[in-house]
Amino acid sequence: MEVNLGVSLKLLKNIITIDGPGGVGKGTLAFSLAKKLGWEVLDSGLIYRLIGFIAAEKNLASSKEIIETLEKSSIKLITNIDSYSCEINFNNKILGEELRNEKIAVKASEISKDANIRSAIIKIQRNAYLEDRGLIADGRDMGTVIFPEAALKIFLEASPEIRAERRANQLKEKGMNVIMHDLLLAIKKRDEKDMNRNVSPLRPAKEAIIIDTSKMCISEVEEKVMEIYKKL
């Protein structure tokens, strides 16, 4: 599903969408750009992770139960640009680190196949955009579905092997044990699911600029995006 808001879609220069597969560096790029531009960040994956977490914790089996629970709940995104971190205040409980593990990522990816759940959280995502402050939106369908009016749409790519290596380094930094083979397999499986679902599959928007980050460091990617942004 690619949203077509009509030919007269007014492009907004203060939204940059960054889509791409897991572990490709979207989050780091989003925060570094936001810091540079003084903008906000939307980490849309964290919302899917939250839903995966709630579904597991409350034993919710159907999308109907999940959506009813979401409708009754208060969900506030908390972003701290300086510390490059996002958390969610879910009914006055702050959730962050507990959402960032592979088990929850798999749950999030499973849940994200559901068209009704995806529709139920469009508003939360669009509300992250405040006209007087720009937004860097990070996810899988930011350019295609959530912010089709963004004037700059970036799609990041890198091989699964490179992404697994980057993820492994992050986990090692946190003192966690890493089995490379398992990590690579998990990344490939999640790619497969995210790219092949029927609704809002992971793919670049038609007008997206594709950047292969396999051989680039974050400052090079940031520089490239800023160059393109300045020419808008």
List contacts with ligand DC (CB under 6 A).
22, 44-45, 48-49, 105, 108-109, 112, 139-141, 190, 194
Q: Who's near 26: CB < 8 A, 6+ residues apart?
A: 18, 19, 20, 138, 139, 156
| Nearest residue (CB) to ligand DC, 45 versus 134 | 45
Least distance CB 176 / ligand DC (angstroms): 17
Least distance CB 12 / ligand DC (angstroms): 18
| Nearest residue (CB) to ligand DC, 16 versus 108 | 108
Closest listed residue to residue 54, CA positions, set 136, 127, 145, 121: 121
Spatial separation of the C-alpha atoms in residues 35 and 147, rounded to whole Å: 20
| Nearest residue (CB) to ligand DC, 25 versus 139 | 139
Least distance CB 130 / ligand DC (angstroms): 19
Least distance CB 36 / ligand DC (angstroms): 21
Q: In 38-130, which residue ranges form alpha helices assigned H by DSSP? A: 44-57, 63-72, 102-111, 115-120, 122-126
Residue nearest to ligand DC (CB): 45
| Nearest residue (CB) to ligand DC, 1 versus 223 | 1
Angle at 101 between CA 187 and CA 143, to 5 degrees: 60
